[in-house]
A and B are shown apart, each in its own frame.
Chain A
Amino acid sequence: MGRRALLARARLLRDIRRFFDRRGFVEVDPPVRVAAPAPEAWIDPIPVPRGALRTSPELQMKRLVAAGHRLLYALGPVFRSGERGPRHAEEFTMLEWYRARADYRAIMTDCEALLRFVSRRKSLKVGHARVRLSGRFERRPVVDALEAVGVDARSASDEAYSEAMGLRVEPTLGLGRPTFLVDYPLSQDALARPSPKDPTLVERFELYVAGLELANGWSELVDPAEQRARFERDRERRRMLGKTVFPLDEAFLADLGHCPPCAGVALGVDRLLMVLLGAQDIAEVRLFPDPT
């Protein structure tokens, strides 16, 4: 890594902390090793003695929200086995923040303010794209974005959904100005709550700049029974795929019962640095590569 990227990285970490500290958020550093990572069909934790390295600090942060902390952020490493490529590293730096008594719209507004704050510019040049940051970012329903490439988001198979999203939708997003894809079908529900307006959708968004996904957030599901059912479904999928199945996080499910309505997001700091610097490969912005 060159000196320019190293200094830009240091400045970005400092700016992120400055941004949240000024707004009354409290920084927390949840454990990196957990006994029971959130079960997800397509995210594989790296196992270590008595658990795994976290793939996100989400469950721990929501327990802190349930304990009464209203504005929280965490900045640190997460690990996802097997994810390697120009946009992926197995270890990467994640920023997560949570707001109690808020929904995903408030988090999207935070994203807009954060991008403007850390970029110090009116627009970003990434590859051939010039992305204007000054106005309101685009909000585009997932169903519309997929319909434009001939795919029905609600009925598509996992494979058809992923391929259309990865190859035909994502490259077109966030070119003139950043785009929020919003309101995901139930098949992509993650830990998001169903939309009160349309029960076939969940209140989830992803933020794109120049075709690159930067962040993934939602209004949090705070119904322990529904959350347990989703966890069991995803553990069953992992079992069917022959993948490691970790225990359920019972302490999390117990705390979720007294969690207020809240919303949160995970933002890839390395990718944010990529768009700030116009880098095409995540290796250009990380200090060292993953072990091979």
Chain B
Amino acid sequence: MYETSDLRKGLKILYEGKPYVVADCQFVKPGKGRPFTRTKIKNLATGAVLEITFFSGDRIDIPDLEEQTMQFSYLEGDNYVFMNTETYEQVYIPAEALGESRNWIVDNLVCSVLFFEGNAIDISLPNFVVLKITESEPGFKGDTSGNTTKKAKLSTGVQVDVPLFVDEGEWIRIDTRTGQYVERVKK
């Protein structure tokens, strides 16, 4: 069990049976009244954010969380199948649990999988991934419209903005935190 004085940014807690991470917290103590900590907590599975007040003297449960390094194997229907490369154990993570992360899941991607009470609920992506452009109109030489970028569709189906000089079939590096093009990669 945690006490309210343990609350700080980044602490993982169990709230109403769900795992959360503390995104923001502020200690408030009016006069000689009961102190409390005003928090914003983010659901580790859904990303939903709640504003919750914890009063001094409240006890806060510790969630049963575990992280494992795993490799993406294949897509089966709506499930992403990851494998532990040491034990060969496989887990199925439903697409909706991954949210926008699934835009950046490429073959053989190695990432950290988060388990809550034994079920995989989320993954932590590396900051950068390399993906192939599957569709993009050629950029015009002498385009005078002022555009410096164009749309490109990547192997995972997501569309991003890329510079005009990048072509279909080429590989690019993406920053997964912003979802933005970083550079062209020779493969």
Contact = CB atoms under 8 A, between A and B. Distances in A.
A166 B28 contact: yes
B33 A170 contact: no
B26 A42 contact: no
A92 to B, nearest CB: 12
Contact of B30 (A40, A170, A190, A241): A170
A190 B32 CA distance: 8
A196 interface: no
Contacts of B36: 159, 162-163, 166
Contacts of A166: 28-30, 33, 36, 38
A83 interface: yes
Interface string A179-216: 00000100010100000000000000010000001001
A167 interface: yes
A166 B28 CA distance: 6
A88 B27 contact: yes
B35 interface: yes
Nearest to B4: A82
A122 B126 CA distance: 56
A213 B31 contact: yes
B55 A159 contact: yes
B166 to A, nearest CB: 45
A206 B29 contact: no
Contacts of B32: 40, 42-43, 188, 190, 216
Interface residues of B, number: 17
A28 interface: no
Interface residues of A, number: 28
B11 to A, nearest CB: 14
B34 A85 contact: no
A169 B57 CA distance: 23
Contacts of A206: 31
A162 B35 contact: yes
Nearest to A164: B30
Interface in A152-183: 158-159, 161-163, 165-167, 169-170
B26 A161 contact: no
A84 interface: yes
Contacts of A86: 26
B116 to A, nearest CB: 29
Given A41-B34, A163-B53, A82 B26 contact: no
A241 B32 CA distance: 16
A144 B38 CA distance: 24
A167 B27 contact: no
A42 B27 contact: no
Interface in B16-40: 26-36, 38
B38 A159 contact: no
Given A163-B53, A241-B57, A82 B33 contact: no
Kindly list the 9 A-B residue pairs having the minimum CB-CB distance in the complex, ordered from nearest.
A85-B27, A165-B30, A166-B28, A162-B33, A166-B30, A82-B5, A162-B34, A158-B34, A241-B57
27 contacts: A40-B32, A41-B34, A43-B32, A83-B29, A84-B27, A85-B26, A85-B27, A159-B55, A161-B33, A162-B28, A162-B33, A162-B36, A162-B55, A163-B36, A165-B30, A165-B33, A166-B28, A166-B29, A166-B30, A166-B33, A166-B36, A169-B30, A170-B30, A184-B31, A188-B31, A188-B32, A206-B31
